[in-house]
Structure 1
Amino acid sequence: MKDTVKVPWKAYILNAFCTVLIFVALSGMIEAKVIDKYIQGIIMLVFVNIILAVSLNLTTGFLGQIALGHAGFMSIGAYTSAIITKAVKDLPDGSFLQSLPPQLIFGVALLAGGILAALFGILVGIPALRLKGDYLAIITLGFGEIIRVIMENLEITGGAQGLRSIPGYSTKYFGMCYWITILSIVILYMLVRSRHGRAIMAIREDDIASEAVGIPNTYYKVMAFSVAAFFAGIAGGIYAHYLRILGAKSFNFSRSIEIIVIVVLGGMGSMTGSIVAAIALTILPEALRSFSDYRMLAYSIALIVVMIFKPSGLFGRYEFSLMGCIDKILGKGKKRSKETAVEGSVK
């Protein structure tokens, strides 16, 4: 008998339904003014941090390489997309580009920022990923600082004064940013679950053994690094069109550390963990803003407590399954395990 691969269509349909339901709920609350501009801004930062966290998790969690320059790729995407949309906005009235839908211009600008960030990821990744551990972390950290200094001294980026008057497309096209975030998660999840993802995880477990069985380590390391850089560039573009003012200091070393903290807290090797941690670590500082004197202290203590009692992160390498939870509630999980045990004993 041929082995049949069971495709979890029920789980896919349920996840798609919940995703659409969340979008409808958020859009409805924004239209009804239940969600004001301040809360909408926090949600936009959640989108940005989710994309940054799941993309860095590909490099740090699934590939097992510590990278400290993710904010550098974010800045490349941010400035590239902002310069494009700002240039189109400043064109004379009646020009061809100005006649195009703003959503299309915004989408093309985000894509351009992501592609340029990916190219820089390849350029940095080819020499850097031949190193391991602390050396790789130092090189990526240096790259992030080099990018920040360059952005701070280029005329096209506004120099030390920063880039201003960026169109506020992120807030205007909230739904578009939501679906870009969902699409980023889906693409990265599919990549991790593909044969390429299994090769990447094999390198994480033992790079010598993976190379011995024929896996091209350098190719997959550079691929994972450039894909992560691409999505960091996309996140940077959304961030730029939300903030509307860009300064190089927004992408310094501490920004890269913030992204690493989200990945480590959620669990290195868990997409679900990165999403939950990104939501929590974006909302928590804002929720504690009324305790301005103590909020960073409470934030730090919360991180220390989690790392002491759950050093693998909130989720470790576990992925949350909504369908699995429903099966457990309905008691199907135990039934399936018993059936599997019976089939095993018969064989």
Structure 2
Amino acid sequence: MKGVLLVNLGSPDSPTPKDVKPYLDEFLMDERVIDTPQWLRNIIVRGIILRTRPKKSAEAYAKIWWKEGSPLIVISQRFAEKVGKLTKMPVALGMRYGSMTINKALQELNEKGVDEVLLVPLYPHYAMSSYETVVVKTIQEQQENFPKIKITTLPAFYKNEEYIKVLSESIAKGLKGFDYDHILFSYHGIPERHIRKNDPTRFHCKIDGNCCNANSVAHHTCYRHQCFDTTKRVKAYLNLHENKVSNSFQSRLPNDPWLKPYTDFEFERLAKEGKKNLAVVTAAFVSDCLETLEEIAMEGKNQFQEAGGENYIHIPCLNDDDAWVEVMAKWVNEWEKNGALPV
């Protein structure tokens, strides 16, 4: 019997330092998130970051927390329920970090008699700190606890035509009535070394402004290229003016080169260049979360306006939009019927 496992990032159980601390510990101690030797990761995370970050992060979570709970969890649950109504297969939801574990989701499917699972990392792009860690963790759980279950993984869908269509039309809906000067596609940042580590050729990814445009097998696992490609495809679909669209990368740790340009720097630059009306798209995420609702929708707006900008909107993620649900249901049903995966 076949079933579907949807996996998103995760969330602390409450917006309190007590619950945020163990969540951050699990997240930041992941070797695919902070990819240093474990002894150094221990010093960075447990000796430095966790001494101050839980309180600050809890305050940020409190700003965006819903009555029903964490926005990321609530949205993901709504999405999973809607997909479940459009397929005959059992659909389970797990999180890479936090109490809604992948193990629990696999156990739920196992108890329903599922022995073949389609794993769906809810990330459009391939990165070792998001897509890859979900796949690795799921396979580890399967091998250790559910050896009779077969896992098939949905590929990163950043350039799939059906995904680009629903993303583009969602953006167009968000832009309706807003006379923008500029649209900034803000993707989640990752360290530059992650790009080089995921380069199977070991020489293509130079992050020099040219490599992302030159055809290479490296693009299959290059987060930077995939982000730029998503923007390019949306821009073409919506016929957006070349000079009114740009990319940036949000979130980073200090003293380490991460993908550029940095989103917060772009807010200031665009405002000082005279852009008064800015729309921001967070296309690295399919579900709104702390990084979109607090970092971009709230803090980003403040940064842009303090630098001289005036009107600012954050366009919501796809969340549980019916058109997005229908696309995902189509993908899982095609896999159930004939083993086909989207390209």
| TM-score, normalised by the number of residues in structure 2 | 0.29
**When you count strand as a share of all residues, which structure comes out higher?**
2
**When you count helix as a share of all residues, which structure comes out higher?**
1
Highest RCO, 1 vs 2 (Cα 8 Å, sep ≥ 6): 1
